[in-house]
Structure 1
Amino acid sequence: MQCSMALDRMEDLSLKQTMVPFESCEVEGIPLTKQMHSIWDRVWKFKARPDDLLIATYAKAGTTWTQEIVDMIQQDGDIEKCRRATTYRRHPFIEWIIEEPPKTNSHLIMKHPTGLELAEAMPSPRTIKTHLPVQLVPPSFWEQNCKVIYVARNAKDNLVSYYHFHRMNKGLPNPGTLEEFIEKFMAGKVLWGSWYDHVKGWWKAKDKHRILYLFYEDMKENPMREIQKIMKFLDKDMNQELLNKIIYNTSFEIMKENPMANYTKDFRGIMDHSVSPFMRKGIVGDWKNYFTVAKNEKFDEDYRKKMADTSLVFRTEF
C-alpha cells in the first residue's frame, strides 16, 4: 500500500478557496483517497449478509440513477418512502469516508457517518453501493452469494462526467485541464483505478456470481425494458401502472429536482453545484462536445488496445 501527496484544492463550507494537500493511496495498485485507505482493513473485513444487494459501478456511470430505480422497486413505487432519506443514507457507500474542511475562522470539522457505519447500523435487507473494482470487493459478498447489479457506461461519456465531477467535488483530486484528465483516465491514474480494468473485471465476474450486468446506454434507450430486468433480478413483479410511475420518477428531469437524490443536502461543503451540478446532463454522446478529432483518434487507438481481450461492446452514441 502506497500513499502520495499532491497539492490540490479543497474548499471550506462557504466554498471560499483555500489550498491543502490532497493525498491519494493505493490498495493493490488501485488509487483511493488517504481517508479510504485509512479504513481499508475494516472495509475488506466487512460482513455482508445473504440478503444484501450490492450496486456496483465505476464512478459517474449511472450509480445514483440505478439506486433510485432499485429503491422505487423495493418500496413498491411509494414516493414518500423513497424520500425518507438522502441516497447516501439509504444506500451506504461502503468504502467512502470524508471530513468536510472547517468553516472560515473555525477549527471544527464536519464529520459525515462513513459508509461502513451506516451499513453496519442498517437493518436487513440492505442495499449497498460501491465503486470498487471486482477484486477489491469484500470477500463476504461472494461468500454470502449476494446479488449484485453492475452498471457500465461507455468510456468517453464516463470520462467527461467524471471530469466535471472532479471539478465540483472538493473531496477529489483537482482534475487539471480536460487534456490532462484524459491522459490520467487512459492511464488508470484516477480514483478507483482503470475504467478498462473495472468494466472488464466485472464482466468476467458475472459468469461466476449473481451479477446483473447493465449498460447505461441501454437504460437511456429503453428504461422500461431495463427496469423490468432489474425487477426480475430482484424477484419483484409490478403492474404497468407502477412501472410507469417508476420510469417517470427516476427520469433525469425529476431526479435532478429531487433533493433526496441530487446531493444538494449532503456534503454541502464538499460539492459545489455552482461549478457543475451533481446531476449534469445524463445523456449519451456528450463526449462529442469535449473531444477534438485528434483527442478522439488517440483515445480510440488506445481503447482498441486495452479492450482487445474482451467481448464487451459499448455504444458511444445512438
Structure 2
Amino acid sequence: MSTKPRPELFDFHGVPMVQAFTDNWENIQKFKTRSDDILIATYPKAGTTWVSYILDLLYFGQTDLERQTSIPIFKRVPFLDYNGVDLANKLPTSPRLIKTHYPVQFVPESFWKQNCKIVYVARNAKDNMVSYYHFDRMTAGQPAAGEWSEYFQRFLDAKLTWGSWYDHVNGWWQKKKTYSNLHYMFFEDLSENTEREIDRLCDFLGLSVSPDFKQQVMSQVQFEKMKNNKMTNYSQFEGTVMDFTVSPFIRKVMQEVKEKSPTMLYSKLQK
C-alpha cells in the first residue's frame, strides 16, 4: 500500500476537489468528443463500474471476446477526471465509453455541442454515503475517511471529493429537463429489476439485442461475478493505491431494495 500522504481537499470553482482530478483541467475542458461518444456520469460509488460494464458488454460483448478477458474495465471505459483524455483518445472502439464523477457544470462543452448520449446514475444517499466511506478508507487517492461519525457529518456538509451529493444528483436532474440525450437512472431500480433497466438503456441507446444475449449480459453483471472478475474488481491496484484488506472495491450486494426505494429522491428532485 502506498505510504504517500493522503491528498487534501481544496475549493475548486465552488466544489471540494483533490489535485489529482484538477491537474489536467485545461486538457479536459478542451477534450474533443465525437458525436457517438457515450458519457457515464455518477456521484462516486453510485454504480459507475456496474453501468460501465453493462454498456461495454452491450456494445462489444459479442464482437470482442478477448477484450472481456484481457483489458480491465477502467481501461475500456476511461475516467475523464484522471488521465481520461489520453486514454479516450487512444480507444480503438466506436462508440467510446467514458466515465466521470464531475458535477454537471464541469463537463467539457464539447459533450453538449456534439449532442453526445449521457447516462447518469443516482443512488440512495444512505447507501451512497456508506459505500463512499468504505472506498475512502481503502484508497490512498482520497482524503482519509476518519471515523464514521466524522465522515457522516462531512457528507452532510458536502466536504467530500466531488462535493455535495444532493447538488450532484439534482444538477444532473435539472440538466435532464433541457437535454434530451440524457438518460437518468437509479441504482435501486437496476438492483430491483436489472432486465427492465437494461431494456430501458437499450431503448435510449437505440440498441437491439437478442433475448439470449441479454441474458448473457445479465449473468455477467451479477454482483458475485463482478466481484470475482479481475477485469472488473480493480484488483490490479491491490497493495498499491487500494488496500483490499480494509475493504474490497466491489463491497457487497444491495440488500432489501424495496426498503430503499428512490421514490423520495424523485419527489425531492422534481420540486
**Contact 1:26 1:37 survives alignment (8 Å):** no
1:30 aligns with 2:15: yes
Deviation readout 1:132-175 (Å, 9 max, x if unpaired): 01011111100110000011000000000000000111110101
**Contact 1:50 1:146 survives alignment (8 Å):** yes
| TM-aligned CA distance change 1:243 to 1:185, over 3 Å | same
1:94 aligns with 2:77: no
Greater relative contact order (Cα < 8 A, sep 6+): 2
Offset of residue 266 of structure 1 = 3.9
- Aligned mates of 1:91, 1:254 — CA distance in 2: 19
- Aligned mates of 1:236, 1:136 — CA distance in 2: 29
Query: Secondary structure at the residue paired with 2:9?
Result: strand
Structure 1: which amino acid aligns with 2:102? L
- The one of 45, 55, 69 aligned to 1:83: 69
- Aligned mates of 2:173, 2:152 — CA distance in 1: 23
Structure 2: which amino acid aligns with 1:67? S
- Please name the residue that 1:294 is paired with: none
- Please name the residue that 1:157 is paired with: 127
**Contact 2:6 2:141 survives alignment (8 Å):** no
1:50 aligns with 2:40: no
- The one of 121, 135, 145 aligned to 1:175: 145
1:73 aligns with 2:58: yes
| 1:1-318 equivalence runs, <5 A | 11-12=1-2, 18=3, 20=5, 22-77=7-62, 79-96=65-82, 114-123=83-92, 124-209=94-179, 210-266=181-237, 268-284=239-255, 310-311=269-270
| TM-aligned CA distance change 1:267 to 1:277, over 3 Å | closer
- Aligned mates of 1:21, 1:68 — CA distance in 2: 29
| TM-aligned CA distance change 1:192 to 1:284, over 3 Å | farther
Q: Show structure 1 runs of 4+ deviating over 3 A.
A: 76-81, 306-309
Offset of residue 225 of structure 1 = 0.2
> Going by fraction, where is strand more abundant, 1 or 2?
1
Structure 2: runs of 5+ lacking an equivalent:
none
TM-score, with structure 2 as normaliser:
0.91
* Equivalences, count: 263
Offset of residue 308 of structure 1 = 8.1
> Going by fraction, where is helix more abundant, 1 or 2?
2
Query: Secondary structure at the residue paired with 2:202?
Result: helix
Structure 2: which amino acid aligns with 1:158? N
Tell which deviates more after alignment, 53-62 or 202-211. 202-211
Identity of aligned residues (%): 43
Query: Secondary structure at the residue paired with 1:142?
Result: helix
TM-score, with structure 1 as normaliser:
0.78
- Aligned mates of 2:187, 2:34 — CA distance in 1: 28
What is the Cα-based RMSD across aligned positions, in Å?
Answer: 2.2
| TM-aligned CA distance change 1:284 to 1:201, over 3 Å | farther
**Contact 1:166 1:174 survives alignment (8 Å):** yes
